[in-house]
Chains A and B, each alone.
Chain A
Amino acid sequence: MVSKKYGSIICMVGLLAIFSWVSAAHGRSDAYKENIYPVGTLKPTDSVLKVKVGDLAPDFTLPAVRGDKVTLSQFRGKKNVVISFVPAAWTPVCSDQWPGYNIAQDFFDQNDAILLGITVDNIPTLYAWTNQMCSGDETLWFPVLSDFYPHGAVAKKFGVLRSEGVTERALFVIDKKGILRYIDVHDINKRPRLEDLVRELEKLTK
């Protein structure tokens, strides 16, 4: 009797401790309530780049959340392109990165650039997640693309697919000729500074 009682108490204390730890970790914006999965601190980078500045960016076609398909080369001769790979939907840093870009469209427009957001999540997941970044009928101004199937194929072409199957937190700036002008494979645990991207965008039009 006594041992069973102590066993139950120990079990309860243990579960409470773990629950407390899990619930203490969350995204910083209240937009996502308790729906952000706590990933903890990850290995900063975990892949080997397959491209370098000066290379022609690998072409790809991916489905967008809005329903169409987007091909990188369709922008050649027309727009500079920024590709923002983020590791996964519903995770802390990622959920606070694109909402910032969503209010920074002017920086992209001023430098004749388009932004393409990519993750390896499927379309329904991206649909639900990006809806949380907006309100009412609003949507993100830039296309959000799914590199879900074949899993991470585009990320693999660029060399930013991590061993656990998510992408790096990476930014690629590509000029109108399709040439890679800037690469930032960022520490996955940290958000890239907006001013660094703005500086690289401004270089394109100088």
Chain B
Amino acid sequence: MMKGVNKPLICFAAFAICLLLATHAGLAFTNAPAIGESLPPFELPIPQDARAQSYLGLSGPGQFTIAQIEAKVVIIQIFSMYCPICQKEAFRVNKLYRTIQKRNDLKDKIRIIGIGTGNTAFEVGFFQKKYEVPFPLFSDENLSIHQILGEVRTPYFIGVKINRDGSNKVFYSRLGQFKDVNSFLKRIVELSGL
């Protein structure tokens, strides 16, 4: 049936497909978190800082999952100290935090955290101090969370709704900076159904 098809051509296609499969091994983990799906599971260390613990509703040493944060909605910012856009975006994300905290209808329902992809704890701490980031930031030095979340570029925002039964659902998943705090927050509220 395939008589006459060039053998080198078949070899080329086979090589290319093998390359694709090899580099996309674990395809499910190389895509960004999908809207409507659960956030791929990962753990973060409970912050030692009392203010951060209080903000997240966590206590003690150990690890936590996003669903354990005491909130109805968690906004996760994937950033890097080395990312020029994240640097310029920092004041706007801080403003988002302050806007939420000023709103009585949202301040106990929405939490923001940042995950510094490929950043050491020192680098994350430096970024936090430099830009006076008021919400908790976490280091992902070995890129393990970066891989779980689909190796997204930075900045990347993920909105997760935490259900009463402890399950969660991604309702927002997008690359790039948001231009306007109020529009972004309005969208978060609408999409999450808060």
Question: Which residues of A are interface residues toward B (Cβ below 8 A)?
Answer: 2-4, 6-7, 10-11, 13-15, 17-18, 20-21, 24, 26-31, 96-97, 99-100, 102-104, 132-135, 191, 193-195, 198
Contacts and interface: CB of A to CB of B under 8 A. Distances in A.
A13 B83 contact: no
A128 to B, nearest CB: 14
A29 B122 contact: no
Contacts of A99: 82-84, 87
Which DSSP category, helix, strand, loop or mixed, fits chain A's interface? helix
A96 B82 CA distance: 5
A20 B127 CA distance: 34
B88 interface: yes
Contacts of A191: 82, 118
A20 B20 contact: yes
Contacts of B118: 28, 96, 191
Among B4, B24, B30, B82, max chain A CB count under 10 A is at: B82
Interface in B4-32: 4-6, 9-10, 12-13, 15-17, 19-20, 23-24, 30
Given A26-B153, A30-B175, A195-B120, A18 B85 contact: no
Contacts of B4: 2-4, 7
A202 to B, nearest CB: 13
Given A27-B153, A30-B154, A17 B16 contact: yes
